[in-house]
Structure 1
């Protein structure tokens, strides 16, 4: 005989309840496990207002203390060039010369003319003193003598001008002539810059120019040299730019080794001596996205984070000064933030 197996109705509800209960418990455990896996372990720092020394930051460039362009004052063919670009020269050093043959000949002629005029003057002066020469004729010979002297002096100067000397010590930055070329009066042959001391040239907005004074100390960082230099404000131009309404400020820097070169970028910081209440966060907490938006993550009481856009106004040490986006008491994520997104759960 074939046996039949079945569940008695009386036991069916108990069986179903047991199975469903087991299933619910299993699902709940899995959900809790997933939630736990999604939560990110982070470290937070609660924001506090604190006294912050006001420090203004500007980006500028290094410029030479002095720059001059020099050239020949007489025309001629360049016969020699003694220096090259980048070379350091001293005051009075010979830089170049032009062919002086024509000017030497002119000097000889002027010299001969002066001798003739002097001889004539010596003879006629005696006659004039004796009353044998009219005053008009004597004045004429005196005039010719003076002209002859002037001609010789001019010829001597032109001979001297065939050589070009450095008017100051410095560095040759531009050489515009070559041997065999024609030199023209007034045309620049060389540019010399003086770099024993240099300036960091800054552009300061109207809102901050009133915080600066002549003689104020400044810290200038040159990234090219990875070095910070200390200087003082030497010049504050009182005339604002007509378009930008900004002012030019120059910080003087000593440069005995000549390492500071014109054109280098100068990141300059100037302490105003005032203290401000400021919100700061560690630089490591700040994130910048592909759209160049700067933000941090702030943890809430529900252990979820909110992405908050911030505006940074400066840097001090390892901290970023925040001018907008955060308030006192905010809990900023300072470690683990790179694995977060807006609304993510965290473990504090």
Structure 2
């Protein structure tokens, strides 16, 4: 009886072992099975595209403001980066000496005018020498000029903005010294700006004043329309390129000097471009875009690509892929670089857009 129980136990253990072994074998087979992915073959087609020229935003006008008279700065009313209006107070210097000089000039003028009134009647009667009369008239004129000079110095002790714009540089500080010709502020006028770019000699014939172009601002991800208003007729001595400016209205002040621009202009040219669905893009830990390229043996290779603009559900590939390559569109989460995949071809084809 004891022997029978032992035999049954042994059979149970052996059976359990066989079941576990089969289960592990099935799991291993599933684990070793290549992941199923959706793939598409890359194709490209010609599309007309305007030539793009890199440039930057430049202000309509940049004004350097300085005091016309020397003195100690006692007040500053604006800060760097602040928007100002024409006539707005910027800073002032201590005008005590100029005010005292004006009082002296007023007193001197009163004295000269009083003397002139007294001797004018005598001169008309012939009782006063002409030479002395001329001297008195000269003193009156000098006193009037001296009064105007000192009055202007007091006016010049207060600095006001000559235009609408933004304070980009502020060197004036309370307690500092002001001097004629020494910049206190730099004001940039930004209600209208230019997109400035350069064109090589071989392409300058495609541009005319008044020509409308599109200007893209990558930072803002916005396009603006403007007209070419300035074509410098003299090429740069080194690059032999010509400088052009596109006028852009900027009432909201969103376009700031120094912003990078892309000017789309000139005669459209035919180019080949490849675009793929956004789902094909895989970003690594450094946020660098890649795609999985599948070879004829169904081996997936992680390939770095350079991308351009997004076009709907697709993205333009500017470098890294060749025509007729096969890429993975979906299912990349289970794919490992250099490993085999089970590819299922889709009817969707990675291709070029019709136009840009």
The structure with the larger Rg is 1
Q: Find the counterpart in structure 1 of residue 90 from structure 2.
A: 95
Cα gap change, 1:207 to 1:286, in 2 (>3 Å): farther
| 247 and 275 in structure 1: CA distance in 2 versus 1, 3 angstrom threshold | closer
Is the CA contact (8 Å cut-off) linking 2:53 and 2:197 kept in structure 1? no
Q: Name the SS for the 1:210 alignment partner.
A: helix
Mark the CA change 1:119 to 1:194 in structure 2 (over 3 Å): closer, same or farther: same
| Matching residue of 1:219 | 215
**Any residues of structure 2 matched to 1:1-348 within 5 Å, and which?**
50=46, 52-58=48-54, 60-214=55-209, 215-223=211-219, 225-263=220-258, 265-272=259-266, 274=268, 276=270, 317=311
CA contact (8 A) 2:226 2:248 kept: yes
Deviation at 1:278, TM superposition (A): 5.1
1:211–1:56: structure 2 CA closer, same or farther, 3 Å change rule?
farther
* TM-score (norm: length of structure 1): 0.69
Across the aligned residues of Structure 1 and Structure 2, the Cα RMSD in angstroms comes to 4.3
Q: Does structure 2 conserve the Cα–Cα contact (< 8 Å) formed by 1:278 and 1:322?
A: no
Q: State the shift of 1:101 in Å.
A: 0.7
Paired positions, count: 309
Q: 2: CA distance between counterparts of 1:237 and 1:188?
A: 29
SS in 1 for 2:174: coil
Structure 1 residues 199 and 117 mapped into 2: Cα distance closer, same or farther (>3 Å)? same
Measure how far apart 1:151 and its partner are. 0.5
1:62 to 1:54, Cα distance in 2 relative to 1, 3 A: closer
The change in CA–CA distance for 1:286 and 1:250 in structure 2 (over 3 A counts) is: farther
Tell me the SS of whatever aligns to 1:272. Answer: strand
- Partner of 2:109: helix, strand, or coil? helix
Residue 107 (structure 1) shift = 0.3
8 Å CA contact retained: 1:78, 1:181: yes
C-alpha distance in 2 between matches for 1:159 and 1:316: 61
1:193-213 deviations in Å (ceiling 9; x for gaps): 111122222232223322222
Residue 97 of structure 1: how far off its partner (Å): 1.0
Give the direction of change, closer, same or farther, for the CA distance of 1:184–1:46 in structure 2 (3 Å limit): closer
Distance 2:318 2:94 in 1: 68
For the Cα contact (< 8 Å) 1:124–1:138, is it kept in 2? yes
Aligned in 2, Cα 1:322/1:94: closer, same or farther, shift over 3 Å?
A: closer
Q: Give distance in 2, aligned partners of 1:50 and 1:181.
A: 64
Task: From the superposition, tell whether residues 41 and 208 of structure 1 become closer, same or farther in structure 2 (CA, over 3 Å).
Answer: farther
Moved more, 71-80 or 44-53: 44-53
The answer as to whether partners of 1:196 and 1:254 remain within 8 angstroms in 2 is yes
Q: Is the 8 A contact 1:218 1:251 kept in 2?
A: no
Structure 2: gaps of 5 or more residues: 1-32, 283-290, 299-305, 346-356
Which deviates more from structure 2 when the two are superposed, residues 247-256 or residues 270-279? Answer: 270-279
SS of equivalent residue, structure 2 residue 238:
coil
Cα distance in 2 between the residues matched to 1:205 and 1:218: 19
Q: Is the 8 A contact 2:45 2:272 kept in 1?
A: yes
Deviations, residues 10-65 of structure 1 (Å, cap 9, x unaligned): xxxxxxxxxxxxxxxxxxxxxxxxxxx99x9985658576451433332x222222
